[in-house]
Amino acid sequence: MDKSNIIQRVKRIFIRQSVTEAAILITLLAAISRVIGFFREMMIAAFFGAKKFTDSFVVAQAIPGILAGLVAGALSSVFVPLYAEWREKKGKEEAERFASILVSDLFILLLGVTVFSYVISPLIIEILAPGFSGETRKLALDFTYIMLPGIIFWGTYGIITGLYNSHKSFVIPNLAGVLGSIVFILAIFFLHNTFGAYILPWGYLANVVIQYLLLLPALRRIGVKITWEINFRYEGLKKALVLITPIFLGQSIGLLNMAVDRIFGSFLPEGSISALNYASRVYQLPINLFVNALATAIYTDLAFQAQSENLDQFKLSLNKSLRAALFFLIPASFGLIFLAKPIVRLAFERGAFDALATKRTSESLIFYSLGLVFMSINMIITRGFFALHDTKTPVKNSIIALLFNIVLNTIFIKPLAHMGLALATSLASLISSVLLIRSLRSKISGVFSKDLLVNVFKFTLGGLFIGIVALLSFNFLYGHIFSHGQLGLAISLLVSVGIAVVIYLLLGLRWGIEESKRIFNIIKKNLELIVHLVK
């Protein structure tokens, strides 16, 4: 391979990828990002523990997260299929104008929202954390004021990443996320003594701004030009508003779920909200590694397939995405349930993060992990509905799930405390999955193949088996071979998980599972490449 071909290949990796390439690259970058993110959480846990500082930070994050997430999440969901429609019917130039108007109009709106948020923040804190008082409440309010400008950047971030995704360029947005997290880590590490707990909101804001600024210059690399144009009467904006309304409600419900858990959590002992937050970081790891990568990579294809009314290909793409996600997520769920305590100990137990914090966090992780599969199914199927321009059905189902979550929180919080909140979240996700699957079946005949159901059974059987293998291996290694320090814990976990993964892949190969075959083929090709390079 000559030098020019290598350069072209590298450019293609960064600028435009196929769905398979995108899923692999996003997964790799997500893995790097989650490792960095875990390192950040480990430092927060070590320096600040699971106390009032971290409780305040978790609650304060909710305000810019809710306000920006409502707008950005909804707009990014409708943007990809609308942008695809504009390019298909009106051409590239008008599609870029549509994107420019959306970004410009949204910037103005979010600027006003941010200013108004400074006025209503005390009321929101009172609503989100009615159990907070004294210094904890003051910290939450101070942290909120620092992070509020992030609304403007997060709010328009969804459209910018949607542009990249529409052009099948997935690497740059994920790379920006990695670099932003590194900035956050450096801020905590070098400035925590100077700023104390206040470095958490300042680091959060720096992370948001850095990610945003890194994305803008590279837009021209994918052939997109964004200009400043305010036009609140533009046809595309009107259509976006029609589609966004139910999604806006759906995003509101998702964020309300989070807010409901924190409202209930504010009445629990100090550190409970932080324990739930740390546990959520762990169980979201496989979602961010596998499901987000698949959902992001496949969404553009689903949108174009729905636009061209190619429902056979649409069903095939959806089934492949669900099968690939569940291939990873089902065994991951069993692994997190069986190995919750050693995982939490390795990740967080040092410095200010004590044994009590480990106990609460690992208990929360077990109950969160029960719903991991259903959360993943919901993400992918919801993307399918959005690609079909059906934004109402997911919202209706989300409302029902939210109501169940409130009822279940009320039932479980007294006997199970923080574990009850995690269990309620998992059961609400299960209910949402059942409703979404039923709705999609009624909308598209034969949308879920029999092959998918057979594979889910195989994944479950294999996942349960390797979960038990991982637990037995860990107990033997940590109890009889390696010391009881952090290094021994890390080696025992890595070896036991490695054994489980190898067994799972071999079982998949024996059972004829497509994902196992692909992974072994990738390993084989890379080994051949390494041998060729060595020679």
The pLDDT tens digits along the chain (535 residues) read 444 554 444 444 444 444 555 556 666 666 677 677 777 877 787 777 767 777 888 778 777 766 666 666 666 667 777 777 787 788 778 888 888 888 888 888 888 888 888 888 888 888 777 777 778 888 888 998 998 888 888 777 777 877 777 776 667 777 787 888 888 888 888 888 888 888 888 988 888 888 888 887 777 777 777 788 888 877 777 777 776 666 666 666 666 777 777 778 778 887 788 888 888 888 888 887 777 767 766 776 777 777 666 677 788 888 888 888 899 899 999 999 999 999 998 888 877 778 888 899 999 999 999 999 998 898 888 888 877 777 778 888 888 888 898 899 999 988 888 899 999 999 999 999 999 988 888 888 778 888 888 999 999 999 999 999 999 999 998 877 877 777 888 889 999 999 999 999 999 888 888 888 887 777 777 666 666 655 5
Q: Using an 8 Å Cβ cutoff, are 81 and 386 in contact?
A: yes
Q: Using an 8 Å Cβ cutoff, are 111 and 152 in contact?
A: yes
Residue 30 structure tokens: 């997500």
For 64, the 3-state DSSP assignment is helix
- The phi-psi region of residue 482 (left if phi > 0; otherwise alpha if psi is between -120 and 50; otherwise beta) is beta
Q: Using an 8 Å Cβ cutoff, are 314 and 306 in contact?
A: yes
Q: Using an 8 Å Cβ cutoff, are 145 and 79 in contact?
A: no
Closest to 74 in 3D by CA, of 46, 52, 106, 98: 106
Determine the Cα–Cα distance for residues 111 and 523; give it in Å rounded to an integer: 49
Determine the Cα–Cα distance for residues 374 and 96; give it in Å rounded to an integer: 36
Determine the Cα–Cα distance for residues 516 and 509; give it in Å rounded to an integer: 5
Which ranges constitute the DSSP H helices of 129-234? 134-147, 150-166, 171-195, 199-215
Residue 344 structure tokens: 């939490």
Longest CA span, the chain = 71
Tokens 């996003």: give the residue.
26
Residue 357 structure tokens: 């914090």
Residue 318 structure tokens: 């959806």
DSSP symbol at 351: T
**Residue 500, pLDDT score:** 92
**Residue 9, pLDDT score:** 47
N- to C-terminal Cα separation, the chain: 15
Give the CA distances from residue 270 to residues 177, 186, 217, 425, 437, in Å, rounded to whole numbers and listed in that order.
Answer: 31, 28, 44, 21, 39
Determine the Cα–Cα distance for residues 143 and 479; give it in Å rounded to an integer: 43
Residue 416 structure tokens: 């199970």
**Residue 3, pLDDT score:** 47
Residue 244 structure tokens: 């966004």
**Residue 82 one-letter amino acid:** L
Q: Which residues lie closer than 8 Å to 495 by C-beta, 6 or more apart?
A: 473, 477
Q: Using an 8 Å Cβ cutoff, are 406 and 387 in contact?
A: no
Residue 443 structure tokens: 């909308």
Q: Which residues lie closer than 8 Å to 393 by C-beta, 6 or more apart?
A: 385, 436, 439, 443
Give the CA distances from residue 217 to residues 14, 25, 71, 221, 226, in Å, rounded to whole numbers and listed in that order.
Answer: 14, 21, 23, 8, 10
